[in-house]
Structure 1
């Protein structure tokens, strides 16, 4: 299974829709990103680590919450999302497939040296948009193929009676 580490605030600041939401509420932007990551993860079967900085929050301890294949991480006081990602990539980067999503060029370089592939937040945005489009097409195709007409669902005698009623009015 591919593991994708996403620098949450880096992505929020880079994606147009999330950046717009952030202007009103960081919490709403985080919630939207989590929902997007759940869909992306479910479609591709990836495990996503969505990492948010809490290093400036006094007394903050590291918190993890799992929602399906998405692990939401708030770092502890004094730890940035970059340092959390670097630590985890150092542990697993050469053992399993890892991709790091951030536009921080230094972070990209460090994680690449530790065995991960890297993707900028904008490249990831385009990939996620394409995935959303594929999900939409698959959903429409699935709904169209599952559509059942009334003629297929009711008894022929009843159908004839309904047709007679329709014609008499």
Structure 2
């Protein structure tokens, strides 16, 4: 089954503590960080990710570009991010496809759920991303994340020798 994740960019920036704090001083840096995080997530999750930013008050035809293989979309003039997200859901919907929309906007969650997509609140997406990062770290450095015997370095040599003799039945 093909999986898609559509992310309401400014909603996520406002909902994640790290990005929310950053947006107050440098909105462009917050956007760049989100793009980086989602590009990374796309690469290890296998999902196709679309990041949507609202350019409602900005004149123009909207923009779509790819950064680190991540599709970044800006809305057209007089179009909201919610409208673009709903259009994307409609266009992507099909057999053997699962679409998730990451937003904490309750109204938008109900609309996309009605169109057949699954909602993914901002906090839940952050948990999924952090869990995926942890899994990748464990695959890359298995020796640092799990030891065969967690008590081994807590016991002194005499106790280890005693246990070894007991194990061998001596």
Q: Same fold (TM over 0.5)?
A: yes
1:8-23 counterparts in 2 under 5 A? 8-23=9-24
Aligned-residue CA RMSD (Å)? 1.8
1:7-156 counterparts in 2 under 5 A? 7-57=8-58, 59-95=59-95, 96-141=97-142
Q: Which ranges in structure 1 are unaligned for 5 or more consecutive residues?
A: 145-169
Q: Quote how far apart the aligned CAs of 1:43 are.
A: 0.5
Q: Which ranges in structure 2 are unaligned for 5 or more consecutive residues?
A: 146-170
Count of equivalent residues:
143
3-state SS of 2:141 partner? helix
- 1-structure distance, mates of 2:21, 2:134: 21
* Structure 1 pair 63–72 and aligned structure 2 pair: CA distance change class (3 A): same
3-state SS of 1:97 partner? strand
- 2-structure distance, mates of 1:89, 1:30: 22
